[in-house]
Amino acid sequence: MAEEKIPEPIKRRGLMLVLSSPSGAGKTTISRKLLEREADLMLSVSITTRPKRPKERDGVDYRFIGQADFDRMVQGDELLEHATVFGNAYGTPRASVSQALDQGRDVLFDIDWQGTQQLTEKARDDLVSVFVLPPSTAELERRLRARAQDPEDVVRARMAKAADEMSHWAEYDYVIVNTDIETSVAEAQKVLHAERLKRPRQVGLRDFVEVLRAGS
Ligand code: 5GP
């Protein structure tokens, strides 16, 4: 009997999974749980000029930098996208993302609609975008207040901005209404798992099928 040839795992190209939502819709919790459950998924840690909140860790949640350093990175073309949100500058460093994609790892982005538009222009084939909506305005406000990390005027400004941000839902590939966090995480995982199977992302398929055919 011929010796069975066990094929290598099929090589794939990583994808860029973008999550956007108005603040308070639950996107950060969904991101955290996705990262815990998906070993092949890594977070793109953004840079920002916003002051650090008490529970945040530099280099983990964001890299907190000054405006001069931010401008230097923009000028050096070190960012994949960047935008101003609530008066602070945010941006996605380029280097770690392209390396991860080439190694077949997926990258999660917690960025706003402006950044998503820029990534759509630059990397449509690698991009999978998901918009997270709150179940109601009252619930959105309740979550923003429960978070209690921001002063009152910031909460009010974020509520006012939410309607604006939500107008961009139709620019996204998928929409999740976050009524229940566990259901939403499971839905995001379904999106990720299905998108990984897209034929163009499975770059090792040609070799795999050749081995299959040679064995028959
Ligand atoms: P926060 O200050 O509450 O962490 O984030 C405010 C908003 O900025 C959120 O909508 C978040 O998704 C967005 N954001 C965070 N990092 C980036 C980034 O690197 N680029 C862009 N375009 N938006 C970002």
The two three-digit tokens of residue 1, written as one number: 């009997």
E-state strands within the chain: 16-20, 41-43, 47-48, 63-64, 79-85, 88-93, 106-110, 127-133, 174-177
Whose alpha carbon is nearest atom 19 of ligand 1? 91
Architecture field, domain 16-204 = 3-Layer(aba) Sandwich (3.40)
The two three-digit tokens of residue 52, written as one number: 């650090």
Residue 1 pLDDT: 54
pLDDT, tens digit, for every residue of 94-148? Answer: 999 999 998 999 999 999 999 999 999 999 999 999 999 999 999 998 888 887 6
pLDDT average, residue stretch 180-207: 96
What is the sign, positive or negative, of the torsion defined by CA atoms of 111, 198, 95, 56? positive
Check if 46 has its Cβ closer than 6 Å to any atom of ligand 1: yes
Percent of the chain topping pLDDT 70: 95
Q: Which atom of ligand 1 is nearest to the CA of 83?
A: 22
The two three-digit tokens of residue 202, written as one number: 């499975």
Check if 100 has its Cβ closer than 6 Å to any atom of ligand 1: no
Tell whether the model's pLDDT for residue 75 goes beyond 80: yes
Closest CA to 86 of 144, 135, 43, 134: 144
Cα 207 to chain centroid distance, Å, stands at 30
Residue 7 pLDDT: 62
Residue 146 pLDDT: 81
pLDDT average, residue stretch 163-174: 95
Whose alpha carbon is nearest atom 15 of ligand 1? 111
Structure-model confidence comparison of residues 150 and 171, the more confident one: 171
Cα 86 to chain centroid distance, Å, stands at 19
Tell whether the model's pLDDT for residue 46 goes beyond 60: yes
pLDDT average, residue stretch 60-68: 96
Tell whether the model's pLDDT for residue 74 goes beyond 80: yes
**Rounded mean pLDDT of the chain?**
92
Query: Hey, where are the domains in the chain?
Result: 16-204
End-to-end CA distance of the chain: 13
User: What b/e sequence results for 25-62 when a residue is b if at least 16 CB atoms lie within 10 Å of its CB, and e otherwise?
Assistant: bbbbebbebbeeebeebbbbbbbbbeeeeeeeeeeebb
Which are the contacts of 157, defined by CB distance < 8 A and separation ≥ 6? 86
CB count in 10 Å sphere of residue 183: 12
What distance in angstroms lies between residue 46's CA and the mean position of ligand 1's atoms? 8
